Structure 1
Amino acid sequence: MKKLKTFSLIVLLIVFSCKESGKADYLPESVGAVNTLTVVIDNELWKGEVGDKIREHFAAPALGLTWDEAQFSITQIPPQIFSGAIRNTRSVLYVMEDSLNIAHMKSNMYAKPQKVGIVKGRNKAEIIENLDKKAPQFVARYRENELKQAQKRFLRSLNKEKAMEDEFGITMDIPSIYKVGRQADNFVWMDRQIQKGTMNIIAYTVPWDSFKNDTTFVQDIVQMRDSIGKLFIPGEDIPGKENHMITEKAFSPYVFPAEVSQRKAAEARGIWEMSAYPMAGPFLTYIINDKPNNRKLILEGFTFAPATEKRDYMFELEAILKTGRFNTPEGRRENETGPDISRAFLVL
Structure 2
Amino acid sequence: IMTRSIIYSVCILFCFSCNNEMTQQFEPKSSALGKMNEIVVVADDDLWESAIGDTFRYYFQSAYPILPTPEPIFDIRQFSIKELNNQPLRKELRTYAILADLSDEDSPTTQMVKKDMGSEKFEAVMAGKGKNSSVGKDKWARGQVLFYLFGKDKVNLSEAIKNHYSAIARRVNKHDEKQLKSSIYVDVINRRLTERLKNDFGLDLEVPGEYKVVIDDVENKMLWVRKDTKEAIQNLVIRTIPYDNENQVTKANMIALRNEFGKKYIKSDEPEDFMVVNEKDLPVYEYTFELDGRYTREIRGVWEMSKAFAGGPFATYLIVDEKAKQLIYVDAFVLAPGHDKRDLMMQLDFIVKSGKFTNRIQI
The CA distance in 2 between the partners of 1:274 and 1:204, in whole Å, is 22
Q: Which residue of 2 aligns with 1:103?
A: 133
Structure 1 spans left out of the alignment, 5+ residues = 1-25, 331-348
Secondary structure of the corresponding residue to residue 209 of structure 1: coil
Specify the code of the residue in structure 2 equivalent to 1:71. Answer: I
Task: Verify the 8 A CA contact 2:184 2:347 in the aligned structure 1.
Answer: no
Secondary structure of the corresponding residue to residue 266 of structure 2: coil
- Structure 1 residues 82, 289: closer, same or farther in 2, change over 3 A? farther
Greater displacement, 179-188 / 108-117: 108-117
| Greater C-alpha radius of gyration | 2
The CA distance in 1 between the partners of 2:185 and 2:242, in whole Å, is 32
Secondary structure of the corresponding residue to residue 69 of structure 1: coil
Counterpart pick for 1:118 among 148, 165, 180: 148
Q: Which residue of 1 aligns with 2:310?
A: 279
Secondary structure of the corresponding residue to residue 320 of structure 1: helix
Specify the code of the residue in structure 2 equivalent to 1:64. Answer: I
Specify the code of the residue in structure 2 equivalent to 1:58. Answer: F
Q: Which residue of 2 aligns with 1:92?
A: 96
Q: CA deviation at 1:113?
A: 4.4
Question: Which structure 2 residues correspond to residues 41-60 of structure 1 after superposition, within 5 A?
Answer: 41-60=43-62
Counterpart pick for 1:194 among 226, 229, 242: 229
Secondary structure of the corresponding residue to residue 165 of structure 1: helix
Residues 263-294 of structure 1 show CA distances to partners (whole Å, capped at 9, x for unaligned) of: 33122110011233322110012222222211
Question: Which structure 2 residues correspond to residues 204-219 of structure 1 after superposition, within 5 A?
Answer: 204-209=239-244, 211-212=246-247, 217-219=250-252
Residues 103-142 of structure 1 show CA distances to partners (whole Å, capped at 9, x for unaligned) of: 1334555555443211011211111011111011111221
For the aligned residue pairs, the C-alpha RMSD in angstroms reads 2.5
Structure 2 spans left out of the alignment, 5+ residues = 1-27, 104-121, 126-131
Counterpart pick for 2:300 among 254, 266, 269: 269
Counterpart pick for 2:269 among 219, 227, 237: 237
Q: Which residue of 2 aligns with 1:346?
A: none
The CA distance in 1 between the partners of 2:294 and 2:89, in whole Å, is 40
TM-score where L is the length of structure 2: 0.75
Residues 197-223 of structure 1 show CA distances to partners (whole Å, capped at 9, x for unaligned) of: 411111112232354288xx2212211
Specify the code of the residue in structure 1 equivalent to 2:200. Answer: E
Residues 225-264 of structure 1 show CA distances to partners (whole Å, capped at 9, x for unaligned) of: 1122233x2211323x2x3222113134100122323433
The CA distance in 1 between the partners of 2:39 and 2:91, in whole Å, is 12
Q: Which residue of 2 aligns with 1:321?
A: 352
The CA distance in 1 between the partners of 2:293 and 2:94, in whole Å, is 26
Counterpart pick for 2:290 among 254, 259, 284: 259
Does 2:328 correspond to 1:293?
no
Secondary structure of the corresponding residue to residue 212 of structure 1: helix
Specify the code of the residue in structure 2 equivalent to 1:289. Answer: V
Q: Figure out how many residues of one structure are paired with residues of the other and give that number.
A: 301
The CA distance in 1 between the partners of 2:262 and 2:191, in whole Å, is 26
The CA distance in 2 between the partners of 1:108 and 1:295, in whole Å, is 47
- Structure 1 residues 286, 73: closer, same or farther in 2, change over 3 A? same
The CA distance in 1 between the partners of 2:197 and 2:241, in whole Å, is 15
The CA distance in 1 between the partners of 2:299 and 2:203, in whole Å, is 20
TM-score where L is the length of structure 1: 0.78
Specify the code of the residue in structure 1 equivalent to 2:54. Answer: D
Secondary structure of the corresponding residue to residue 150 of structure 2: strand
Greater displacement, 131-140 / 160-169: 160-169
Task: Verify the 8 A CA contact 1:39 1:75 in the aligned structure 2.
Answer: yes
Greater displacement, 172-181 / 122-131: 172-181
Task: Verify the 8 A CA contact 1:203 1:300 in the aligned structure 2.
Answer: yes
Identical amino acids, percent of aligned pairs: 24
Does 2:255 correspond to 1:222?
yes
Q: Which residue of 1 aligns with 2:20?
A: none
Secondary structure of the corresponding residue to residue 277 of structure 1: coil
Task: Verify the 8 A CA contact 1:154 1:173 in the aligned structure 2.
Answer: no
The CA distance in 2 between the partners of 1:140 and 1:287, in whole Å, is 23
Question: Which structure 2 residues correspond to residues 6-45 of structure 1 after superposition, within 5 A?
Answer: 28-45=30-47
Specify the code of the residue in structure 1 equivalent to 2:244. Answer: D
Task: Verify the 8 A CA contact 2:33 2:94 in the aligned structure 1.
Answer: yes
- Structure 1 residues 292, 198: closer, same or farther in 2, change over 3 A? same
Does 2:144 correspond to 1:144?
no
